[in-house]
Structure 1
Amino acid sequence: MIRAIVVLLLLALAGCTSRGVSYDKEVDDLGAHIVSDLKALPTVSDAAYRYDHGVDLGQHLRIRAILRQESVSPDNVQQSIELAVKEFWLSPASVGHLTVAVYSSANPPVGDDDAKNTDRAIGSENIEDSAAFDRPEMERKYGPRPSRR
């Protein structure tokens, strides 16, 4: 009986990973690409990403950009957010959720958790590829997403 339960649990977990909740190199590469492009902006002093995945999370990419203190302006905050959002949307990587947080080098985030740094963020965006959430707006702005692999 216990053996049957263990086998069923293993099969269930194997089924979950086939639905895209396991590590996906293409999503990881997308995060690295966005960070590289952000760091190439003269207004950005640093950038980083975190790729979360799993049964409870699905595929979630978190991008962090830190603007040089002298470059902080609404236009530069928006430019950083737009760069990340556009690259996310136009990528065929199988990731349905993007969070972007922008900070000033004068008041940088503490630790790795942007949720604990919302009072320090000078701009943020949360995009979910869902017809009920952000897909209609993103499709108007950038066109349909490429087919996911």
Structure 2
Amino acid sequence: MLQKLLKDLNELNLPLGEFVIFGSAPLAIRNLRPCRDLDILVSPVGWQQLIRLYPQYLRQNLVCLKKGKIEIFYNWPGFSHKEVSAIIKEAEMFMGFPFARLYYVWQWKKRSNRLKDKKDVELIEKFFGNKNNRPPISQLG
């Protein structure tokens, strides 16, 4: 499923450095769990490129663009625009695509109250093997 989603994402022709794959896909690329869709955070440049091509809709109080199983966001709950820029800038490359560092995914999911996010927090903490219930500080940079 992830391979197909990445192929679809590639068709958007977003320039590297203007987007990052967020949500559950950073877990999927590390074989921690599968994902069914892609959540993409884009820079202002990326947003302007896509806003003319895809319809906007509201998802959980966030304006979003959608193409198939890809949802594209300009902002994300709990992160400022400056933090979103840092998440994009500090992305880790897998298979030629920028994925958010697990630290940022953990940070967001830790704040969430959804059951699936709590399970993801456990998966990330287990992945790092950290008894302090957070990824090591080295994941910040």
Q: TM-score, normalised by structure 1?
A: 0.31
CA radius of gyration, larger in: 1
* More helix by percentage: 1
Q: TM-score, normalised by structure 2?
A: 0.33
